[in-house]
Structure 1
Amino acid sequence: MPETEPESWEYSLYIPNDVRAVTVSRRTLRLILTMHGLINLVDVAELLATELVSNAVRHTKGPAALRVRWAAGVLRIGAWDADPEPPEPPRPLDDPAELEDGRGLALVRACSDLWGWQPLSRHGNRGKYVWCELAR
Structure 2
Amino acid sequence: MVTVAPYDTWAYALRLPHNPHAARVARMTVRSVLDSHGRLEILDPVELLTSELVTNTYRHTTGPASLRLTALDDGRVRVGVWDNHPRIPAPFGPPPRDSVPPVPTDADGGRGLRLVQEYANCWGGWPLGDGLLDRGAGKLLWFEVGG
Q: 2:123 aligns with which of 115, 124, 135?
A: 115
Question: Cα distance 1:39–1:88, how it changes in 2: closer, same or farther (>3 A)?
Answer: same
Counterpart-to-counterpart distance in 2, 1:32 and 1:98? 35
Unaligned runs of 5+ in 1: none
Superposition pairs of residues 48-63 of structure 1, within 5 angstroms: 48-63=49-64
Q: RMSD across aligned C-alpha pairs, in angstroms?
A: 2.2
Counterpart-to-counterpart distance in 2, 1:121 and 1:14? 19
Identify the structure with the greater helix proportion: 1
How much does 1:33 deviate?
Answer: 0.4
Letter in 2 for 1:77: V
Aligned residues: 134
- What is the aligned partner in structure 1 of residue 9 from structure 2? 8
- What is the aligned partner in structure 1 of residue 79 from structure 2? 77
Counterpart-to-counterpart distance in 2, 1:64 and 1:121? 16
Letter in 2 for 1:84: P
How much does 1:4 deviate?
Answer: 4.1
Unaligned runs of 5+ in 2: 92-98
- What is the aligned partner in structure 2 of residue 91 from structure 1? 100
Q: 1:104 aligns with which of 112, 118, 126?
A: 112
Question: Cα distance 1:134–1:19, how it changes in 2: closer, same or farther (>3 A)?
Answer: same
Q: Structure 2-normalised TM-score?
A: 0.81
How much does 1:106 deviate?
Answer: 0.5
Letter in 2 for 1:61: T
- Structure 1 residues 29-56: Cα deviation after superposition (integer angstroms, max 9, x where no partner): 1000000110111111100100111111
Q: Percent identity?
A: 39
- What is the aligned partner in structure 2 of residue 27 from structure 1? 28
SS of the aligned residue for 1:126 comes to coil
